[in-house]
Amino acid sequence: MLRGPCRLFRVSVAPVAALAVALVSSLSRCSLLEPENRVVSPLSPYFGTKTRYEDANPGLLPDPEAPRRDPQLLEETCTPVQLVALIRHGTRYPTTKQIRKLRQLHGLLQARGPGDDRIRAAGGGDLGAVLANWPLWYADWMDGQLVEKGRQDMRQLALRLASLFPVLFSRENCGRLQLVTSSKHRCMDSGAAFLQGLWQHYHPGLPPPDVADMECGPPRINDKLMRFFDHCEKFLTQVERNATALYHVEAFKTGPEMQNILKKVAGILQVPVNNLNADLIQVAFFTCSFDLAIKGVKSPWCDVFDIDDAKVLEYLNDLKQYWKRGYGYTINSQSSCTLFQDIFQHLDKAVEQKQSPECLIQGR
């Protein structure tokens, strides 16, 4: 899911043709493990924006730094003059809100009384006990920050783009590169890591300097452009601050599909179903994805759910995004007009002038 951009790059050379290439990307998370040793989960296709990028694009696994060109993307007779890419941040930690919900769920598991032992013994395996003893290593300070794997995501993306568009990303054009980011720390860190990847491309084997000292220049913060929804008063009033805007989401949380999952999970974990709710179930589901993405570990949380559960939880997440960010309310798309106007103004300018290729990379 793309909610707003984070970075902006521009490069210039004399083009022989005016070809504007627009790329909308979710980045490419690249596993720290070798492909043959990768830990996988059948739930991965249902994690939405929390899916590991290499699970969504397995083509990255053999060599995450190698570019993969669509043979129809650029003809040999054309030279790109502008690249526009809306890019999401790299792999991140859970937010503090998610971590506290997980801690609440972990506390329920640890608080199970000894009288439950007979029930658990009758049911065979005790996944609840395994999870109660599973290390809860997430801390509040993490709060959605970029992890090292996320920095690697960005460095490798920069290397792929620089190899795919060598003219746009030539060292001579580095001075024309611009990077715009939102003020979110994970976005600023993603932008810095992207620049480090370009440094690696320009200076193989040399350690990168501080971002402020790089020849391409540091990222520039522009929340009005990159977090447009936070600056649209109509959106804030009608959706963000409207207690009834997500009515359909709340109705689904208490509907039969989610209630069946609550009962099932309560039985598996041997905790009272009244102590669970849809939000706790969802964070348990996403904990499987965070452990996979950050540590390459398939935690016991992945064993709590099956594919049918995953489809319901994926729908719940999609339903929220539909009403809060998607087609549910007209203002959701209207609030992004500033961003799209900015993108197309740069595309139109590049086509009209035909003087210098510009690489405009925007991501959140």
Residue 19 predicted with pLDDT over 50: no
CA 3/CA 240 separation, integer angstroms: 14
Q: Which residues on neighbouring strands pair with residue 22, listed in sequence order?
A: 84
pLDDT of 169-227, one tens digit each? 888 888 778 888 999 999 999 999 999 999 999 999 899 899 888 888 788 999 999 99
pLDDT band at 20 (very low <50, low <70, confident <90, very high): very low
Helix, strand or coil, per DSSP, at residue 2: coil
Looking at per-residue pLDDT, the higher value among 113 and 300 belongs to: 300
Cβ atoms of 75 and 21 closer than 8 Å: no
pLDDT of residue 293: 94
Q: Which two tokens stand for residue 28?
A: 């490419």
Q: Is 27 left (phi over 0), alpha (psi -120 to 50) or beta?
A: left
pLDDT of 215-270, one tens digit each? 887 889 999 999 999 999 999 999 999 999 999 999 999 999 999 999 999 999 99
Mind telling me the catalytic residues?
A: 89
Distances (CA, A) of 233 to 116, 180, 201, 236, 327: 52, 23, 42, 5, 18
Residue 34 predicted with pLDDT over 60: no
Give the angle 199-90-233 at the CA atoms, nearest 5°: 115
Cβ atoms of 156 and 197 closer than 8 Å: yes
Strands 178-181 and 220-221: parallel
Count the Cβ atoms, other than its own, within 10 Å of residue 116: 14
Q: What DSSP character marks residue 183? A: S
pLDDT of 304-333, one tens digit each? 999 999 999 999 999 999 999 999 999 999
Looking at per-residue pLDDT, the higher value among 24 and 275 belongs to: 275
Mean pLDDT of 277-297: 95
Place of tokens 């296709």: 45
Looking at per-residue pLDDT, the higher value among 253 and 12 belongs to: 253
Residue 292 predicted with pLDDT over 70: yes
Work out the angle between the directed axes of helices 185-202 and 148-164 (0-180°, nearest 10): 50
Average model confidence (pLDDT) for the chain? 83
Lowest mean pLDDT among 65-69, 129-133, 317-321: 65-69
Residue 35 predicted with pLDDT over 50: no
Burial class (CB in 10 A: 0-12, 13-18, 19+), 279: middle
Cβ atoms of 8 and 191 closer than 8 Å: no
pLDDT band at 121 (very low <50, low <70, confident <90, very high): very low
Residue 354 predicted with pLDDT over 70: no
Cβ atoms of 143 and 325 closer than 8 Å: no
pTM of the predicted model as reported, rounded to 2 decimal places: 0.83
Helix, strand or coil, per DSSP, at residue 105: helix
User: Dihedral, CA atoms, 260, 265, 271, 277, nearest 10 degrees?
Assistant: -60
pLDDT of residue 25: 31
pLDDT of residue 364: 44
Count the Cβ atoms, other than its own, within 10 Å of residue 239: 20
Residue 357 predicted with pLDDT over 80: no
